[in-house]
């Protein structure tokens, strides 16, 4: 079931409602990001073929036929949003951050 209060329960509040005054400073955000990366690495390390090939529940069946479809969808979403972030940085005078140049 979807957590409708996910954004509001984040440590820095809802992203959609954020203002420059409510955004965390780098020294506050860096430990949160490091923890999130660590938790993601632990979760990914626990995945196995049996889980990845198992069917999706009815709510997520539109994503495809297996749990792997969810992770592929997440990777695609990450790619899209990373591109959006890069575009916003460039538009605000930050050098292009893509490493493939």
For the stretch 10-66, pLDDT in tens is 777 777 777 878 888 889 889 988 998 999 899 889 999 999 999 998 888 888 889
Domain ranges of the chain: 1-46, 56-101
Output DSSP code: residue 58. G
Q: How many CB atoms lie within 10 A of CB 66?
A: 15
What pLDDT is recorded for position 65?
87
- The whole-model pTM stands at 0.59
Confidence band, pLDDT 50/70/90 cuts, at residue 8: low
What pLDDT is recorded for position 16?
74
What pLDDT is recorded for position 41?
94
What pLDDT is recorded for position 67?
92
Give dist(CA 30, CA 52) in Å, integer: 31
């Amino acid at each position: 079931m979807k957590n409708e209060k996910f954004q509001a329960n984040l440590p820095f509040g809802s992203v959609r409602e954020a203002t420059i005054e409510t955004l965390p400073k780098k020294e506050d955000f860096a430990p949160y990001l490091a923890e999130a990366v660590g938790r993601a690495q632990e979760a990914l390390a626990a995945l196995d073929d049996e889980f990845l090939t198992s069917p999706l529940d009815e709510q997520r069946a539109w994503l495809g036929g297996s749990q792997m479809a969810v992770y592929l969808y997440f990777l695609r979403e990450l790619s899209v949003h990373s591109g959006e972030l890069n575009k916003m940085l460039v538009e605000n005078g930050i050098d292009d951050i893509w490493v493939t140049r």
